[in-house]
A and B are shown apart, each in its own frame.
Chain A
Amino acid sequence: MTGYVLRRLGAAVLVLWAAFTVSFAVLYLLPSDPVSIMLDAANPGGTVDPAQVVELSARYGFDRPPLEQYVVLLGRAVTGDLGVSVTSGAPVSQLLADAFPQTLALTSVALGIALLLGGTIAATSSWTRSTRLRGALLALPPLGVSMPTFWIGLLLLQLFSFRLPIFPAVGNQGVASIVLPAVTLAIPLSAVVAQVLARSMRTAWDAPYVETALAKGASRGRVQWRHVTRNAALPALTLLGIAVGNLLAGAVVVETVFSRAGFGGLVEKAVRAQDIPVVQGVVVVGALVFVVVNLVVDLAYPALDPRISRTPATA
């Protein structure tokens, strides 16, 4: 068991290091001249002062060879120092820490809604005997994954903020302000949840223990709730790993649509201003969240399903 945990931890650290390296390669090596991008972003269309270029290059270390820049940046990142924002001058780690609670609240509420909505669709479709109801329910997920997130958000805004003034249109104030963004973020994810759960529930309905329960006189509802849902829920744990990526990417768009402060708003502004250190910070933290959640899922598996830890750890 210790070996399993250590291997997983090692792999997580490796992925994180590699994510830092990839983002460095993309952000610092692709553009021909990051300094002029920064200067232009800070002062669009202005004339470039050569002294300023030299000063900025020295400050960010662009005058050194790429490998040296990389080693310096990596050394700093290990200690939690992700550099300084080009536009605001604030430390990137501070900006990320300020934005994190907002995005965490939004994504957790969205995850809750998605699990509830997707789970209900999947459970109802596997429980019902009406092929028409099942068909109608299973037609929903493909619809959910086809709609652009920003469009869902704008439709909800139109209906529930402007047509019927129930929820505020923008901002972070109060519980009501999180409802529409969370629902927007939850709809595409709930479609994925419904598809995965519906499949594993269909498999569970064919299992021998279901036949036994039915033979002993259990109702379909009881079988669905006590046997099928419980057994189908475990494989769906992997969903959490997928959900993280979905939610983080979705948050960028949703927070922009609803003008909310948070991770998404931060990265959107940073990309617009080509604020390289901030963008790299967000990418690395995005990978960190992904890695941590997947690590937790991997470690939770043996705890929840004894069959996994009893088999020799080959995985």
Chain B
Amino acid sequence: MTLVSHAPLTVTAPVLAPAAVPAPGRGALHPLLRPGAIASLAVVLVVLGWALVPGLFTAADPLVGVPAEKLSPPSAAHWFGTDNLGRDLYARTVHGTGVSLQAALLALGLGLVVGALVGLLAGYLGGAVDAVLMRTTDVLLAIPGLLLSLAVVTALGFGTLKVAIAVGVAEVATFARVMRAEVLRVRTTTYVEAAVLAGARRPAVLLRHVLPNAAGPILVLATVQLGVIVLAVSSLSFLGFGAVPPTPEWGSLVAEGRNFLAVAWWFTTLPGLVIAALVLAANRLGRVLEGRTHR
């Protein structure tokens, strides 16, 4: 194996590894019913609500400000305070959710589908195909993810869609590795052998037998990677490579507050807190799911 083979696997492992294992003998509460898991689920549901029906959560216009109320601290009227143009920051955060979440899900979808396909082919076909595909993913893992994303953004240009593609490309290798490992496990099972002996064609075996049985860990990985992806998307948006200014987006909302750090703490703090809460919740749910599949 190459020298990078051991490192990439541990890149994600520590993030999803900590003591989600329930303490033995401490009641038989279902892992999804623990307070932490319920709170996480609530955070994810609220954020999903913001993304799907922002109008239900805020009546304020995210694009129109009241100049007289600029830079006012959080209050009953403006939960997150207002920005330098007097726009309601809560409304901007809520309306920015859709764009940010769409980008994250697109990146996740891209990484998942392409990565799973690469892993499926590499694991099932083996031989030279496997060697070429896996060496390529080794290389992708040797380039720090954000740098790879930045290279893609340089080539494609700026915008939410391009940021999503850039982050997705950097995710492909992670999914490919896990998928390949799963396929190698499933491939040797008796039901796959039986299907091959019964005369099923290769694509049929792959789609009907290998894929469904290898999908579990991939979906768990997707939950865990969602947090990583939200962070990457918001980082690129913070650097200014995402949506064009008047449109609110999580990362760029925080960036807009940079010049007002000394006078308006809420400007950067509260939108950033929302990002952190969603990532924390997604990671937590991912660990719960991971614990379930291991049992």
Measured CB to CB, the residues of A under 8 A from B are 8, 11-12, 14-15, 18-19, 21-23, 26-27, 30-31, 37, 131, 138, 141-143, 145-151, 154-155, 157-158, 161-162, 192, 195-196, 198-199, 238-239, 241-242, 244-246, 248-249, 252-253, 256-257, 267-268, 270-272, 274-276, 279-280, 282-283, 286-287, 290-291, 294-295, 298, 315
| CB < 8 Å neighbour of A19 from B18, B142, B283 | B142
- B239 close to A256 (CB less than 8 A): yes
What is the interface size of chain B, counting residues whose CB is below 8 A from a CB of the partner?
60
- A154 close to B257 (CB less than 8 A): yes
Which 5 pairs of residues, A with B, have the shortest CB-CB distance?
A151-B272, A249-B146, A241-B7, A146-B280, A30-B155
- A286 close to B7 (CB less than 8 A): no
A249 to chain B, nearest CB (A): 4
| CB < 8 Å neighbour of A148 from B143, B235, B284 | B235
Select from chain B the residue with minimum beta-carbon distance to A294.
B3
A8 cross-chain contacts in B, Cβ below 8 A: 3
A287 to chain B, nearest CB (A): 5
- A195 close to B138 (CB less than 8 A): no
B276 cross-chain contacts in A, Cβ below 8 A: 146-148, 151
Please report whether the interface of chain B is mostly helix, strand, loop or mixed according to DSSP. helix
- Sampled A-B contacts (22; CB under 8 Å): A11-B4, A14-B2, A14-B135, A21-B139, A31-B156, A146-B280, A147-B272, A148-B238, A148-B272, A148-B276, A150-B272, A154-B257, A154-B269, A155-B269, A158-B262, A246-B144, A249-B144, A249-B145, A256-B239, A267-B147, A272-B241, A294-B7
B251 cross-chain contacts in A, Cβ below 8 A: 148, 150
Known: A15-B138, A18-B135. A252 touches B154 (CB 8 A): no
Measured CB to CB, the residues of B under 8 A from A are 1-4, 6-7, 10-11, 14-15, 17-19, 23, 135-136, 138-140, 142-148, 150-157, 227, 231, 234-235, 238-241, 251, 254-255, 257-258, 261-262, 265, 268-269, 272-273, 275-276, 279-280, 283-284
